[in-house]
A and B are shown apart, each in its own frame.
Chain A
């Protein structure tokens, strides 16, 4: 059974950093496209980042230079390193498999407060 479990969310001040983790089971992270998708409170879904099976990464323009997606094959885990956080980055962050996504985690709330 495919499962994705996010962790690492929380409260952070503007300019701060946070790392989200997504532990996967039931499939191999490195053999799939893996994404992060976020949803601001009361808003719609926004794709944030993707890492392809070959290792190439892409990010939405609004997070380029601030967010980095990566994976650890030994832990079968996906990461999102977020730095220079802004209030507009406040959202529930979902990790997801494939593009467009077929499986989603339960989400991890990141709140950037001033």
Chain B
């Protein structure tokens, strides 16, 4: 039950776009179109930003978008804003009814 692989940190200036990758295997990300992305501010519970790979919940800004290619899912934040500074986690359904999380990516707005 290995975790999904994310970069430890990504940074960008206000207004720029950044992309966070989430690499799994053909047994999880590559098989299931059930990747979610979460935003977590310090001391707070995670908040879903993208579900089923590319769908946005009601109330989430359209600056957040998700995609998948093969065994890698991606989260793109366009028009970066100060409030986007947070930790981001990907999550995928996995084999034998398991759930895998990425190690998390700290997004810094310069």
> Does B bind A?
yes
Instruction: Indicate whether B102 reaches chain A with its CB closer than 8 angstroms.
Output: yes
Closest Cβ of chain A to B40, distance in Å, is: 8
Closest Cβ of chain B to A101, distance in Å, is: 7
CB pair A45 B89 closer than 8 Å: yes
Q: Give the bracket for the number of chain B residues in contact with chain A.
A: 20 to 34
Closest Cβ of chain A to B53, distance in Å, is: 11
Q: Give the bracket for the number of chain A residues in contact with chain B.
A: 20 to 34
Distance of A104 Cα from B34 Cα, bound (Å): 17
- Segment with Cβ contacts to A, from B63-71, B78-86, B91-99: B91-99
CB pair B97 A58 closer than 8 Å: yes
Taking a contact as CB atoms closer than 8 A, the residue among B3, B35, B36, B103 that contacts A101 in the complex is B36
A104, closest chain B residue (CB): B45
